[in-house]
Structures are given as C-alpha cells and as structure tokens.
C-alpha cells in the first residue's frame, strides 16, 4: 500500500530539539524514538480500538498525548508524564484513568475492552523507567467501569 512518496524530503520536517532529546532518551533505553514515532501501526476499523498488546496500544493511541517516551508535554495545559509518575504505584490508577478519564483526558472505556485496558496499564507501569511488577487483571478493570455505562446504551 505504501507507494513511493514524491519529494519525500519535502515531507520531512526538521526534528525538533525536544524530539531529539526524546530520541536520545529512547536510545538509552534500548528503544528508538524514531521507531516509536515512525511505527507503521495499523488503524482500527470501526468505533473500538483494535490494538491488543500494551505496546501497540501505547504507540497507537496513548503517545498522541503522553508522547513517545511517556514524557508528557506542556503547553497552555499539560499532559502528565507517565515516565517516573509516582501515581502509577497503584496498579488500578492507570486502568481507572483509561476507563473513566479525568479532566482533559477523555474516557476510553467504550473504545477498549477490559483486556486492552489491563494490557496498556501494565505496559506503562513496566516501561519508561517504571518497574512495577504487580499486574492489573481484566477482571479488576471490569470493576472500574461505571455501573451504568456512560451515555452509551
């Protein structure tokens, strides 16, 4: 599907300072930011995300806001860093946020099933310098869902 791109160099934009920093950080972790950002992730079909592994979900969805190395970002408002975020000490915390959202973070409960939420929560708790070993289970995720599905049925 990927045809040759005319004037490819014209499509490329200069890598910004912070992206370069992210790239360096990635190399130190044995990852490359380029790989994370240039990943040819597939697009979902329909109204639910189809990525299944924690890595695929993070790269396909979460890094849009939380950034390729989980470093977060700051503008007029901010996206919190996941790298070294002490709130991740609770295995339920990231799963709850994904399901229910908070402030600028939308709720993704309707777009992910319990397995996907558990997978990505466990992924962020074991990457980006986070080394938590306990895992949230899909059953625990299920319990985090609102009693009455919010505005969905």
Give the footprint of other proteins on this chain (CB under 8 A): 1-7, 10-14, 16-19, 22, 37-38, 41, 43-49, 59-65, 67-68, 73-79, 101-107, 110-111, 150-153
CB of 33 to other proteins, least distance (A): 9
CB of 125 to other proteins, least distance (A): 19
Strands (E), 21-120: 73-74, 78-79
In terms of CB distance, is 24 or 135 closer to other proteins?
24
In terms of CB distance, is 106 or 129 closer to other proteins?
106
Spatial distance between the Cα atoms of 68 and 124, rounded to a whole number of angstroms: 12
Residues 15, 18, 23, CA angle at the centre, nearest 5°? 70
Which strand (E) or helix (H) includes residue 143? helix 138-144
Long-range contacts from 18-27, C-beta under 8 angstroms, 24+ separation: 22/67, 22/68, 22/69, 22/71, 25/69, 25/71, 26/68, 26/69
In terms of CB distance, is 7 or 131 closer to other proteins?
7
In terms of CB distance, is 23 or 95 closer to other proteins?
23
- C-beta of residue 90 within 8 angstroms of C-beta of residue 76: no
CB of 25 to other proteins, least distance (A): 13
CB of 142 to other proteins, least distance (A): 18
In terms of CB distance, is 67 or 91 closer to other proteins?
67
CB of 44 to other proteins, least distance (A): 5
Nearest to 106 by CA among 116, 114, 98, 117: 98
């Amino acid at each position: 599907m990927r045809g040759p791109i005319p004037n490819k160099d014209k499509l490329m934009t200069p890598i910004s300072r912070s992206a370069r920093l992210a790239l360096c950080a990635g190399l130190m972790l044995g990852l490359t930011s380029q790989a994370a950002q240039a990943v040819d992730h597939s697009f979902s079909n329909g109204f639910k995300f189809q990525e299944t592994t924690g890595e695929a979900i993070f790269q396909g969805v979460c890094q849009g806001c939380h950034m390729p190395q989980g470093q977060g970002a700051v503008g007029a408002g901010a996206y919190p860093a996941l790298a070294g975020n002490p709130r991740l000490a609770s295995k339920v915390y990231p799963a709850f946020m994904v399901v229910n959202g908070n402030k600028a973070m939308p709720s993704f409960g309707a777009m992910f099933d319990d397995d996907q939420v558990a997978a990505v929560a466990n992924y962020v708790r074991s990457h980006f310098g986070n080394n938590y070993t306990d895992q949230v289970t899909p059953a625990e995720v299920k319990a985090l869902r609102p009693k009455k599905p919010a505005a969905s049925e």
